Homo-oligomer: A and B are copies of this chain.
Amino acid sequence: MEQKLDTLKAKLKEIKNINDAVAVLSWDQQVFMPSGGATARAEQLATLSKLAHEMFISDEVGELLSDLSEVNSDYDSDAASMVRVACRDYEKARKLPPDLVEEMSRTFSLGQQTWMKARAEKDFSQFQEILEKIVDLNIQMAEAYGYDESIYDALLDQYEPEMKTEHVAKVFAELKTELVPLVQAIVENKDVVDNSILKQEYDETTQWGFGLIPLQAIGYDMRRGRQDKSAHPFTISFSVNDVRITTRVYKDQFGPALFGTLHEGGHALYEQNVAPELEGTILASGTSLGIHESQSRLWENVVGRSKSFWQFYYPNLQKFFPNQLKDVSLDSFYQAINKVKPDFIRVEADEVTYNLHIFLRFELEQELLTKRLKVADLPDAWNAKMEEYLGLTPPDDAMGVLQDIHWSGGSIGYFPTYTLGNILSLQFYNQILQDIPDLPEQFARGEFEALLDWFREKIHRHGRKFTANELINRVTGAKSIEAGPYLSYVKEKYSEIYKL
């Protein structure tokens, strides 16, 4: 058995090496590739994706897994977890024909290039045709996976295993009931918070330089990663020891670059802190996107937009930007970075309205997959929902339906994980505060190690060993996601800021 396990590990490592190469090619595609390289890159990605898929769904892997599945005694052990997770992946992967995998890879890669150009030129019509193909391929994929109730379940399961659309819809409805009136109340009191100090000229290089300070302070290891610029910020991992992030910097605004950096830094901390002994195995990454987003949203918001964080960093920031901030008090700054304002762009949205952007996408995705909505009508549908949830009509497609990279890269069913992450971040944080009550005081001293250690011990080091629900249960005692802690946090924080 020992020998079979070694054979399986070697085989899975080979497959992981190919998938890691795919990640390097994707990173380059989004960060540095010249436009001329798009077609060849799509072919390279398609070949590698198909190869990795074929190797994984081979009978050889199937037989090894079947032989090994009988002996996984200790549930928590590395070996048993590897076999368990590989079996789950294998059963899913077997359902996808290699030609579909190749075609998806090629189309999603070209989709991103098409989207970049369409977005730059604010023109949805350039993107429509390939998006139609992307939606169609996602439907084919969902049909291949199969599902009981909703076609959306099959896609959601790729990003958030075990989670059902119905459950997400229920939790989202619960949030909506409380968030929509909260946003209305805030809008009525909107003049309480003025964030015009953030909308000045902030030198890009100086912003970049400042961002590196908290990024490294929260524990991001630059020897095992790097930060670059890209059209859409993201985190990507080629190894536990090579986890990269990107950000974007606006010269006329303070906020997006820094909070984006903390967000991606949160993702990266998860990937960098998977146990070293899991490196190169199928377990060496985050277990679900919801758990991943709980990390990124926690560092970005619960930590990065907290008063105590800025008690430590604000004097330093004032030194970086004396002209802009020297006469601005910490309280005014804290209020400014927490201004709630219905706006167009999801990634730059405040904590409260952020979820409304997600509801919109979650609903539109379901309509596309069930063909109640045509891709051609998507911009209108988008704008209608923006009006409904946020009271706004985007001035152009770049500020509306073209703002996110996800659909262009083939990811449908991904967006809900952001709000799941928001919810989870507070479920975890409430637990942490019970274990380490003086955490805010630590932040105020610029100390983040205890928080990172806690996450490393409870979540990061396990990689994919446990499912999201298993982790939630082990860490908090709850069975799954619960909206309560997040709603309490949002209501308390923003009632204070907006004097509601």
Contact = CB atoms under 8 A, between A and B. Distances in A.
Contact of A17 (B33, B48, B223): B48
Interface string A32-65: 1111110111011011100100000000000000
Nearest to A224: B36
B242 A43 contact: no
Interface string A146-167: 0000000000000000000000
Interface in A7-52: 13-14, 17-18, 20-21, 24-25, 28, 32-37, 39-41, 43-44, 46-48, 51
A456 to B, nearest CB: 17
Contact of A226 (B25, B34, B40, B48): B34
A24 B36 contact: no
A21 B37 contact: no
A271 to B, nearest CB: 12
A225 interface: yes
Task: Tell which of A44, A48, A223, A239 has the most Cβ of chain B within 10 Å.
Answer: A44
A136 B36 CA distance: 40
Interface string A215-254: 0000001111110100000000011111010000000000
Contact of A242 (B36, B239, B242): B36
Contacts of A367: none
B24 A242 contact: no
A44 B28 contact: no
Given A17-B44, A17-B48, A21-B48, 12 more contacts: A17-B43, A21-B21, A21-B25, A32-B226, A34-B223, A34-B241, A36-B223, A40-B238, A40-B242, A40-B279, A41-B238, A41-B242
Interface in A58-90: none
A13 B241 CA distance: 32
A304 interface: no
Interface of A: 13-14, 17-18, 20-21, 24-25, 28, 32-37, 39-41, 43-44, 46-48, 51, 221-226, 228, 238-242, 244, 279-280
Nearest to A240: B40
Count of chain copies:
2
A36 B225 contact: yes
A34 B222 contact: yes
A24 B28 CA distance: 8
30 contacts: A13-B43, A14-B47, A17-B43, A17-B44, A17-B46, A17-B48, A18-B44, A18-B47, A21-B44, A21-B48, A24-B24, A24-B25, A24-B44, A28-B28, A34-B223, A34-B224, A34-B225, A34-B226, A36-B224, A36-B241, A37-B224, A37-B238, A37-B242, A39-B239, A39-B241, A40-B238, A40-B240, A40-B241, A40-B279, A41-B242
Nearest to A23: B44
B241 A44 contact: no
A446 to B, nearest CB: 24
Contacts of A41: 238-239, 242
Contacts of A223: 34-36
A244 B32 CA distance: 11
Contacts of A279: 40
Most chain B CB atoms below 10 A, which of A47, A224, A244: A47
A33 to B, nearest CB: 7
A208 to B, nearest CB: 16
Contacts of A242: 33-34, 36-37, 40-41
Most-contacted residue by chain B among A34, A39, A43, A228 (CB, 10 A): A34
Nearest to A228: B32
A362 to B, nearest CB: 35
A46 B20 CA distance: 12
Contacts of A244: 34
* A24, A48, A221, A240 — most chain B CB neighbours (10 Å): A24
Contacts of A28: 24, 28
A334 to B, nearest CB: 34
Contacts of A20: 40, 44
Contacts of A35: 223
A225 B35 CA distance: 8
Nearest to A40: B239
A33 B21 CA distance: 13
A230 to B, nearest CB: 13
Contacts of A44: 17-18, 20-21, 24, 238
A224 B238 CA distance: 26
A222 B37 CA distance: 11
